[in-house]
Each structure stands twice: as C-alpha cells, then as structure tokens.
C-alpha cells in the first residue's frame, strides 16, 4: 500500500514520534541521551522550531512541535533523524547493519485546547507509565526535568496555551483509559487529535480524511492559524 501523503501544516501543534527498528535500543547510556538532546538543540537552531515538550525513552522518543511555516516539521525531522541515525550507527559500530529507525516518523496535528494539554501530559508522563521512575519529573531525559547534568538542551516554548499551575502533580496523576486510547488511536490512524468538527476541518490540510464531514465545512480549510492563536483567537468548537 502506498504511504499516505501528510502535510505538516504551519500554525498547528504536532505530536511527533519515532521508534527504533526491531529490538534496537537507541539510548543505552547517558551519553546516548545527551547526544540526541544536543542534536535536538542543533536542529532547532537550523529551523527555529519551537519545541513545547519532548521525552526520550530507551527505544523511541516523542516531540511536541509548533511550527510557524508549512513543511518546517519535515525539514526539522529529516535533518534530525538522518543525522542521528548516521552518528548512532558510527558510535555503536553498526554502520551497514540495517536501519536505525523502523521507518518515517509519525506526526499528528493536535487541537490547541484541552487536547493539547492531554498530549503534552501523555508525552512527559511516559517514563512513569513505563515504570522507569516513581515520579515523572525525575526522568532526566524529558522537558519536565530541567535539572541534573550540565548539557546542551533544546529551548522550550513558545506555546499556544500556558502550562497550568501544579503541572508536575498533574502529569504524575493517572490518565484515563479514554485519554490514552484516544491518543493511541490517533497515532495508529494518522488522524488529527481533537474534537470531531476540528478533525474534519483540519483533515483537508494534513492529508487525513474523515469518513464524514459536518455540514458547512469545506475541504482544505484550516480551522485557525498561528497568528490567530497568538492574538488570543480560539476556535468556536
């Protein structure tokens, strides 16, 4: 089956994820994590990509990006993944031994309301959900933890929504099965993550097609732009 065409629309937040190929462990030691964070920072400097949140796990990673221009995510991710794969293979004596990543990264548009906070929390809660730590903020390789080893790390922000008060405690609280299943199904189906009306409006510019479309919506119309968000305009659904 041919790969579905997807467009990383500027002005929308994108949840981006990629996994290692097979049983490859991407991050075996602190030096592996530090090297990737350094590349994240360098990629950010090359494309001026706002990073809202990130989390590095042993065999995969999550990013939450807010690009200003169409196609910026693709440029950012192409340099990041190809550079990381090449350097990882050299550092682990694995040049010519197969792919480092299982395939192209996934990027899912996220509605900038409570859905964004749900995905943000999902990303930073990963180490706790995987039982790698007892508190999410103690995992050193995520945006929730901004302390520990001195190293080059990506800058965070700006964001469409402010981080709520008591965010760390909120991240550590359990997420519902409905929230988890919603995010996972969105990733599985390459579907924008938001309410039904927003998904239908957004699908036309991200390459995703809903089975049905609410009356009055137009194919290819984007629900709101980055300028709208920065001016305080919010979608009415």
Kindly state the tokens that stand for 99: 């792919």
Q: How far is CA 40 from the centre of its chain?
A: 13
Task: Place 204 in a pLDDT band, splitting at 50, 70 and 90.
Answer: low
Closest CA to 114 of 172, 67, 183, 213: 183
pLDDT digits (tens, 9 = 90+) for 104-130: 899 999 999 999 999 999 999 999 999
Calpha distance 18→128 (Å, rounded): 19
pTM listed for this prediction: 0.84
Q: Residue 227's pLDDT is what?
A: 52
Domain ranges within the chain, ordered by starting residue = 13-227
- Predicted local confidence at residue 222, as pLDDT: 43
Please determine, looking at this structure, whether the domain spanning 13-227 carries the CATH number 3.30.70.1290: yes
Q: What is the pLDDT of residues 17-72, one digit of tens each?
A: 999 998 899 999 999 999 999 999 999 999 899 999 999 999 999 999 999 999 99
Quote the pLDDT of residue 207: 55
Share of the chain above pLDDT 90, in %: 67
Cβ neighbours around 41 below 10 Å, total: 16
Q: Name the percent of the chain lying above pLDDT 70.
A: 80
d(CA 37, CA 27): 11
Please report which confidence band the pLDDT of residue 216 belongs to, taking 50, 70 and 90 as the band edges. very low
């Amino acid at each position: 089956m041919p790969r579905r065409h997807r467009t990383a629309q500027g002005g929308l937040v994108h949840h981006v994820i990629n996994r290692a190929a097979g049983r490859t462990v991407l991050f075996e030691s602190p030096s592996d994590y530090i090297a990737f964070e350094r590349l994240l920072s360098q990629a950010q400097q090359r494309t001026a990509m706002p990073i809202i949140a990130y989390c590095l796990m042993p065999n995969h990673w999550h990013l939450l990006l807010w690009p200003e221009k169409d196609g910026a995510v693709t440029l950012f991710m192409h340099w990041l993944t190809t550079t990381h794969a090449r350097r990882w293979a050299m550092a682990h004596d694995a040049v010519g031994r197969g792919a480092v990543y299982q395939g192209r990264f996934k990027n899912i548009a996220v509605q900038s309301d409570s859905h964004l906070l749900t995905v943000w929390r999902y990303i930073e809660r990963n180490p706790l959900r995987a039982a790698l730590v007892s508190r999410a903020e103690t995992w050193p390789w995520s945006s929730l933890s901004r302390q520990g080893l001195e190293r080059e790390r990506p800058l965070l922000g700006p964001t469409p929504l402010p981080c709520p008060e008591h965010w760390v405690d909120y991240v550590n609280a359990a997420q519902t099965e409905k929230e988890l299943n919603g995010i996972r199904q969105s990733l599985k189906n390459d579907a924008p993550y938001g309410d039904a009306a927003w998904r239908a409006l957004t699908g036309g510019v991200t390459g995703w097609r809903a089975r049905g479309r609410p009356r009055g919506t137009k194919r290819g119309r984007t629900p709101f732009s980055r300028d709208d968000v920065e001016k305080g305009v919010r979608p009415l659904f």
